[in-house]
Chain A
Amino acid sequence: MTAYAELHCLTHYSFLQAASSPAEMVQRAAELGYQAISVTDECSFAGVVKAWQAAKAHKIQLLVGCFFNDPTGRYVCLVKNLAGYQQLSALISHCRQQAEKGSYVFKPQWLLSKPLSDCELLWLPAANTQTVYAQIADIRRLYGSRFAILAVRDRLASDQACARAVSSLAAQLDAPIAASNAALLHSPERLPLLHTLNAIAANTTVAAMESEHWVNAERHLRPCDQLTQLFPLKWLQQSALIARQCSFDLGCLRYQYPGEVVPAGCTPSNYLAEQAQAGAERRYPAGVPQKVQSQLDSELALVEQLKYEHFFLTIYDLVQFAESQHILFQGRGSAANSVLCYCLGITAVDPDQSELLFERFISKERDEPPDIDVDFEHQRREEVIQYIYRKYGRHRAALTATVITYRLRSAIKDVGKALGFPLAQLSQLLTRLDRRDSEDDWQQQLDALGVLQHPMGGHLLQLVEQIRGFPRHLSQHVGGFVIAAERLSDLVPVENAAMPERTVIQWDKNDIEALKLLKVDVLGLGMLSALRRGFQWVEHCYGRTLTIGSIPQEDPSVYAMLQRADAVGIFQVESRAQMNMLPRLKPKTFYDLVVQIAIVRPGPIQGDMVHPYLRRRDGLEPEDYPNPAVEAVLKRTLGVPIFQEQVIKLAMVAAGFSGGEADQLRRAMGTWKSTGQMIEFKRKIVSGMLARGYDESFALRLFEQICGFGEYGFPESHSASFANLAYASAWLKYYYPAAFYVGLLNSLPMGFYSAAQLIQDARQHQVTVLPVCINNSLWEHQLTKEDESWALRLGFCVVKGLSKAASVEITAARPGVGFAKLTEIESLAIPSSDLQALASADAFRGIAGHRYQARWDMTHLGEQLPLLTEAEAGQAEYQLTEPSAVDTMVQDYAATGLTLGTHPLALLNQQGVLPTHKRAQELIHLRSGQVVTVIGLVVGRQRPSTSTGVTFITLEDETGNVNVVLWQKLGRQQRQHWLHAKLLQVTGTVEIEESVVHVVAGRLRDISDRLPTQAIRSRDFH
């Protein structure tokens, strides 16, 4: 067989230009017996890591490269060695950084001016090129034996002319010719997908661009015997010869940690040990417990052995910076399993108080860099990011990429458009497609909706299936930074992100993991912002300095509040499902809170672990352990596995898994539905447990529970980190509610609740809320002294349409005694839209009367002649009628999204426009099973994936919230009543269990027309 190497191959990382993945290309090339396969995407290395992994698996040489398009033709660069890789990566970075995100600039003269001495250059001349242009001759001379002309044959009428032209050019340049498929497909069957992708890229339909399509599927990886018919032997041999010049292997990339985190004169391990020990002594002033000390020593030894010291010190440096700037932070995820992280101040979970599993964090067998996620205050995360850029320089730090891939809905939308489906029909399909309706899969649903009646219906189903998972474009990771010791572009090309002043590498987190690059996750968390602000107000108003660590622990009053499900605004336990669980689980200790957070998750719910746990907790069911080893693992959670660590430990103690194997099990759990990897583990678990004397039913039950966990189970360490913040926020809410709400409101958007709902809750907790006032408000909400107590004064930020700049100007110009007249504010030259927004929010009430009058007074036609102004003086004075209570409410909602006046329901009740109904507060006093009618504003509609089609609707009246349960069948029958209702009447049966009250809906009625405003908004299906 003729030796052949594919020198130019595009993958789907040349977005919308090719229709096969890197792995498919590599695998097919191996099957065809190619000597080597290249991955040469357009100005990109985005697909090379996946290709490299596939090449290792299929034992074929991978050529790394890319191509650049120019009017003179296409230039394909292949790297010969590490130096060539670094040169080409730098050129890609340069081209990308000259252009906006997603595009690049390329000039052929850069092939002369930029160092590419360790790259092969292949020129694919533009169509109809007959003679060489001047620059290509220079390029040819510079590259010498590293230059060749690429010849492609597509079995078209033009092939002969092209071949003649290539031969002529080669003769003129005295350059060799290499054959290539210039592959866009790994197999010809992908041609329809290629046409579809091209149509998507051109924003047209496949039929409309018929004359521009590839007319056959020849751009695939063709068998060698076909190639020998198409190309002269010499051209094929040339491809193999060029491939032999390239010896680069991606595995030879060696990541170097940034060195400056270790002070001069110290070794990394000594410095890390020193800092950890100092931290341990700060954490345990009464002496480091022996268990902790020995764990710390063993972790330090493992870290030294795996050479991860720089990684820990880099994170340590970041958190130290945050601490110095008083930015709240907390490490979470598997890092919370580490005593070392706790001692360095990265995490806050005391390892002495929990059973943490270090293997979950670092495992020698896994040989992967540890993953430390650190949350910072979301409104100040940018300060940390800028610190990274400052410290390491933009050439050494960039964000990780996230590959945005086609999901079902985006696939249907784009493919449907490309196939010529009318937009309205696609909209209908997408609306009716219920991803959570498990009765039918999406293909059956589309079939039921009549898709197959469309001539392209069958193609739509097939192509959507093929395109799912295809990359659409690169985006930036939420906060994953890669920091290099030297230039980052030596490792991976860097390109511009959509956000200004941000750069992003071309690899995603999986690529980084595969190449063992260090990633530092700098994430944002709203609750940290809220807590820091809350603590500041406590200090300001009450003179008490607080930190998360200094909050008194295990306060029974705080737990009593949680047991009452009084949890609006409290971190992680404020959702409807969590609030329903609180009175059942009745948390009394911190560990209960850890369990509470982990148990209301799809994993434990689908694994049927919730009810056994609650029954055992209430003493209704005995704990049951097959042996002491299992008991040791599950004792803390009453024999029910709730945390990921327990699953891993069970696999270790019951089935004999090693720590690394157990971690592989954890990873497989996350993707078992799509990859089917769990079959292998099932065999291993069951046989391992049988061999250790467990009965088969116990083994199978355990396996089912593991599968139920899926990717949604929480690790205990993660849950413990969250519980820490949950307790802190609960404590603040209980003891300093005004400070708690002001912190929360100033940190919006975050959490589950809108400002209106939080203010409603604040007032129910006796917090006085004062309206926006031109003379008293600042941009942010604040606490102000009002009758010897602290009241919450709404800030200008709540005013819709008001710019922050205008607010700052007003507060800067505001006299000490406040403005006396509207004209004083008008003279500030603030845009009239800002003034109108303030008038709408009734902010001028103190100086100009009601909002109608303020708006009237502020309305002017514009500049007038002075004489006319004088002549007309007084003519426009007119007193408008004050708005009614209903109008006030309507205007409040329109201007600020909330009202401090009478609750809409109370107002409607006063007017007598609502039928007889029970209030939220009255429900608890009813008999369970009693038929009841409730009415409320719809403040939330949720349909969790675990609820098998049940919809939870939350109604709000003037006394509180009503939880409505709507079963799937009824929901479908009556969806016109509830789907868009703002005011809903529900008749159903009340169910009361452990002080948890639900109304199970029987009949629903949309009575939104009785509501005088449509500005009330609900939070739907989040």
Chain B
Amino acid sequence: MVVPASIPPWAYIRCFQLYLEHIQRRYSDEQPVVVYEVTGLRVVQANQAALACGVEVAMPLSDAWLLCDNLQTEQYDEATERQLLADIALALYADFAEVAQDPEHCGLWLRLQGLQRLYQDPGQVKHRIQTHLTGAGYQLTFASNPRCAQLGLDDLQQPMADASQHCLVINTPLDEAVKVRLLHMGVDTLDKLLKVPTTALGKKFGAPVVRLVAELRGQQRLPLQWLQPADNFNHRVELAAEARSWAALRFSCKRLLQMLQRYLQTRQLALTRFLIVLTCRQGLHQQIPIQLAYPQTQADDFFALLQVAMEATKLRAPVMYVQLEAQHFEQLQATSYGFEPVTGEQTALPALLNRLQMKLGDARVYGYRRKPGWMPESQQEQAPAASAPGTTGNLQAADDWRPPWLVTPEVVDINEWQLHGQPQRLQSPWWQPRSEQRDYMLARDHHRRWGWLYFLAAEQRWYLHGWAS
């Protein structure tokens, strides 16, 4: 009779290059890709193709470029990597109730002690983890305590003295200065550290080293922050390529809605509104609020409503990220809902503007706001009505007069105008596609209206660019 192996008390998952794997889908496997940190311009993650070219982690980016002619580089985004780790933690939470994050080392602890009924042997645990980490490169260690597990030290399969021979002091969480001092004494592996009497270690290095040794021996418990899923749902996905239409957004939205459904189901919650935020590469946001008549939990229902809203929405710019935000939940109840009365909040100005925008379209509800720049047309910016100031009266300073209403420049017959004052010469930014020099003047037409005209030397023509009255 084969006795099934009991499951170990602790597991630790170390993800090697979560961020790289996240962005890798934009590239083929043959394409060398590295992730670099922007302050030191050093490689922090590299794919197989880059490693094959001789690129190494921690190498200066300039060297990596020399080694790989067609190298693609991406800036490391710690926040995204942490979010990815949090996503994995959340997914694992459904299967392993006790999950703790170790974002500094891009790892996760799983306490397995109470799960003997669910998982009979380590193989089942591995299999379960694998379903959540498909495609991710990771190292899984089982150990008797969280510190050993974190350091990759499997003390269950072999004696501690043997297991710790290959575990380097440099990988421990001790202060760098302490690690250097230990290395300078030839104490470079954990087995050598564990051989030194604890009293001597305490005397020479103080509490942190003693604590580490106690943690490794299971005499002291590592304080862990157990995962407590957030009260709100806020997830963002980065698209593989910029989406220019709703069709290209469907898959990602479905994925987000499925995550939302899982989130709601595990908490027995429902919701009546959520927000989709579309972000383009330049950082511009477009928000699509979805309002439901009564609480829902199903991704398909959410998707049906989203589809209706999206088909009535025009994308302002190619979309790079899709984000789903849901904050206000209700406990799932077997209650039927009637129509809610309209609240005062919904009648507020933003709501009115939104309604107008839905009715008339974005382009027809707008205001103006001032922005830095020296050409008149670049100093005024058409902005969504809600974000523009109420008036245009402050658009110019005394020394930098601009007419309140600019028009699309149109050619005029200068003989019909009477010029006044001195010309003002403006040269459009040379780094913009069409650079030109304009001489602006105030002028009055037959109807005694003040216009703002400019002479374009390149064309030898006069244009009307604005009205002063």
Q: A and B: real partners?
A: yes
Residues of A within 8 A of B (CB): 154-161, 191-192, 195, 206-207, 210-211, 213, 215-218, 419, 423-424, 427-428, 430-432, 455-456, 459, 836, 839-840, 851-852, 855-856, 859-861, 872, 875-878, 880-881, 883, 887, 891, 975-977, 979-980, 1006
Q: Which residue of the partner chain A has the closest CB to B429?
A: A210
Counting chain A CB atoms within 10 Å of each CB, the highest count among B59, B186, B205, B424 belongs to B186
Which of B61-69, B121-129, B216-224, B348-356 faces chain A? B61-69
Alpha-carbon separation in the docked complex, A855 to B205 (Å): 12
Contacts of B390 in A (CB 8 A): none
CB distance from A980 to the nearest CB of B (A): 6
| B65 CB contact (under 8 Å) in A155, A192, A432 | A432
Q: Which residue of the partner chain A has the closest CB to B71?
A: A428
User: Given that A160-B422, A423-B38, A423-B41 are known contacts, is A428 also in contact with B65, CB under 8 Å in the complex?
Assistant: yes
User: Given that A160-B421, A192-B430 are known contacts, is A877 also in contact with B200, CB under 8 Å in the complex?
Assistant: yes
Alpha-carbon separation in the docked complex, A215 to B186 (Å): 66
Contacts of B398 in A (CB 8 A): 161
CB distance from B112 to the nearest CB of A (A): 37
Lowest 10 A-B CB distances belong to which pairs? Answer: A976-B54, A211-B372, A155-B425, A876-B203, A431-B62, A158-B399, A215-B374, A852-B186, A216-B425, A976-B67
Alpha-carbon separation in the docked complex, A21 to B54 (Å): 47
Alpha-carbon separation in the docked complex, A456 to B429 (Å): 12
CB distance from B399 to the nearest CB of A (A): 4
Q: B45-69 interface mask toward A, CB cutoff 8 Å, 1 = contact, 0 = none?
A: 0000000011000010111011100
A424:B425 contact, CB within 8 angstroms: no
B196, CB-defined interface residue at 8 Å? yes
* Extra inter-chain contacts (15) besides given A215-B374, A459-B431, CB under 8 Å: A156-B425, A215-B425, A216-B427, A217-B427, A424-B36, A427-B62, A432-B66, A855-B181, A859-B205, A876-B200, A877-B200, A878-B197, A880-B185, A975-B67, A977-B54
- Interface size in chain B (residues, C-beta < 8 A): 47
CB distance from A153 to the nearest CB of B (A): 9
Q: Which residue of the partner chain B has the closest CB to A209?
A: B372
B232, CB-defined interface residue at 8 Å? no
Contacts of A881 in B (CB 8 A): 186
B340, CB-defined interface residue at 8 Å? no
Alpha-carbon separation in the docked complex, A976 to B64 (Å): 9
Counting chain A CB atoms within 10 Å of each CB, the highest count among B184, B187, B437 belongs to B184
22 contacts between A and B (CB under 8 A): A192-B430, A206-B431, A210-B372, A211-B372, A215-B374, A216-B425, A217-B427, A427-B41, A427-B61, A431-B65, A855-B184, A855-B185, A856-B204, A860-B204, A875-B197, A875-B199, A876-B200, A876-B203, A880-B187, A976-B54, A976-B67, A1006-B54
Alpha-carbon separation in the docked complex, A836 to B205 (Å): 15
Q: B371-407 interface mask toward A, CB cutoff 8 Å, 1 = contact, 0 = none?
A: 0111000100000000000000000001111000000
B63:A979 contact, CB within 8 angstroms: yes
A-B interface contact total, Cβ < 8 Å: 133
| B431 CB contact (under 8 Å) in A216, A456, A836, A880 | A456
Alpha-carbon separation in the docked complex, A374 to B99 (Å): 74
Alpha-carbon separation in the docked complex, A218 to B206 (Å): 70
Alpha-carbon separation in the docked complex, A601 to B429 (Å): 49
Residues of B within 8 A of A (CB): 36, 38, 41, 53-54, 59, 61-63, 65-67, 73, 75, 181, 184-187, 196-197, 199-200, 203-206, 372-374, 378, 398-401, 421-427, 429-431, 437, 439
Contacts of A840 in B (CB 8 A): 184
Q: Which residue of the partner chain A has the closest CB to B74?
A: A424
Contacts of A419 in B (CB 8 A): 431
SS of B interface (majority)? mixed
Alpha-carbon separation in the docked complex, A427 to B42 (Å): 11
Q: Which residue of the partner chain A has the closest CB to B69?
A: A432
Contacts of B197 in A (CB 8 A): 875, 878
Alpha-carbon separation in the docked complex, A962 to B199 (Å): 52
Alpha-carbon separation in the docked complex, A459 to B401 (Å): 31
CB distance from A678 to the nearest CB of B (A): 37
Alpha-carbon separation in the docked complex, A284 to B156 (Å): 91
B423:A875 contact, CB within 8 angstroms: no
Q: Which residue of the partner chain B has the closest CB to A875?
A: B199
B204:A861 contact, CB within 8 angstroms: yes
Q: Which residue of the partner chain B has the closest CB to A456?
A: B431
User: Given that A216-B425, A455-B431 are known contacts, is A880 also in contact with B41, CB under 8 Å in the complex?
Assistant: no
CB distance from B163 to the nearest CB of A (A): 20
Alpha-carbon separation in the docked complex, A513 to B326 (Å): 76
CB distance from B157 to the nearest CB of A (A): 27
Alpha-carbon separation in the docked complex, A217 to B435 (Å): 13
Q: Which residue of the partner chain B has the closest CB to A884?
A: B186
CB distance from B55 to the nearest CB of A (A): 8
A424:B200 contact, CB within 8 angstroms: no
Contacts of B67 in A (CB 8 A): 975-976, 979
Counting chain A CB atoms within 10 Å of each CB, the highest count among B73, B197, B203 belongs to B203
Contacts of B203 in A (CB 8 A): 861, 872, 875-876
Alpha-carbon separation in the docked complex, A876 to B199 (Å): 7
Alpha-carbon separation in the docked complex, A176 to B157 (Å): 97
Q: Which residue of the partner chain B has the closest CB to A127?
A: B399
A156:B424 contact, CB within 8 angstroms: yes
B54:A210 contact, CB within 8 angstroms: no
Alpha-carbon separation in the docked complex, A211 to B372 (Å): 5
A424:B199 contact, CB within 8 angstroms: no
Q: Which residue of the partner chain B has the closest CB to A895?
A: B184
Alpha-carbon separation in the docked complex, A218 to B439 (Å): 12
A979:B200 contact, CB within 8 angstroms: no
User: Given that A216-B426, A218-B425, A456-B431 are known contacts, is A211 also in contact with B374, CB under 8 Å in the complex?
Assistant: yes
Contacts of B374 in A (CB 8 A): 210-211, 213, 215
User: Given that A210-B373, A878-B200, A979-B63 are known contacts, is A424 also in contact with B185, CB under 8 Å in the complex?
Assistant: no
Alpha-carbon separation in the docked complex, A880 to B67 (Å): 43
Counting chain A CB atoms within 10 Å of each CB, the highest count among B66, B185, B423 belongs to B185
CB distance from B207 to the nearest CB of A (A): 10
Alpha-carbon separation in the docked complex, A775 to B439 (Å): 84
Alpha-carbon separation in the docked complex, A836 to B183 (Å): 13
User: Given that A861-B205, A880-B185 are known contacts, is A430 also in contact with B62, CB under 8 Å in the complex?
Assistant: yes
CB distance from A159 to the nearest CB of B (A): 6
Contacts of A839 in B (CB 8 A): 184
Alpha-carbon separation in the docked complex, A861 to B185 (Å): 16
Contacts of B54 in A (CB 8 A): 976-977, 1006
| A428 CB contact (under 8 Å) in B62, B196, B399, B437 | B62
| B206 CB contact (under 8 Å) in A216, A861, A887 | A861
CB distance from B459 to the nearest CB of A (A): 18
Alpha-carbon separation in the docked complex, A860 to B205 (Å): 8
Alpha-carbon separation in the docked complex, A156 to B437 (Å): 13
Contacts of B181 in A (CB 8 A): 855, 859
Q: Which residue of the partner chain A has the closest CB to B373?
A: A210
A459:B184 contact, CB within 8 angstroms: no
Q: Which residue of the partner chain B has the closest CB to A212?
A: B372
CB distance from B23 to the nearest CB of A (A): 15
Alpha-carbon separation in the docked complex, A456 to B433 (Å): 10
CB distance from B118 to the nearest CB of A (A): 44
B373:A424 contact, CB within 8 angstroms: no
CB distance from B290 to the nearest CB of A (A): 37
CB distance from B257 to the nearest CB of A (A): 35
Contacts of B430 in A (CB 8 A): 191-192, 195, 459
| A883 CB contact (under 8 Å) in B59, B186, B205, B206 | B186
A836:B426 contact, CB within 8 angstroms: no
A980:B61 contact, CB within 8 angstroms: no
CB distance from B8 to the nearest CB of A (A): 33
Alpha-carbon separation in the docked complex, A836 to B184 (Å): 9
Alpha-carbon separation in the docked complex, A881 to B186 (Å): 8
Alpha-carbon separation in the docked complex, A423 to B61 (Å): 11
Alpha-carbon separation in the docked complex, A419 to B429 (Å): 12
CB distance from B369 to the nearest CB of A (A): 15
Alpha-carbon separation in the docked complex, A436 to B29 (Å): 34
Q: Which residue of the partner chain B has the closest CB to A206?
A: B431
B204:A876 contact, CB within 8 angstroms: yes
B61:A428 contact, CB within 8 angstroms: yes
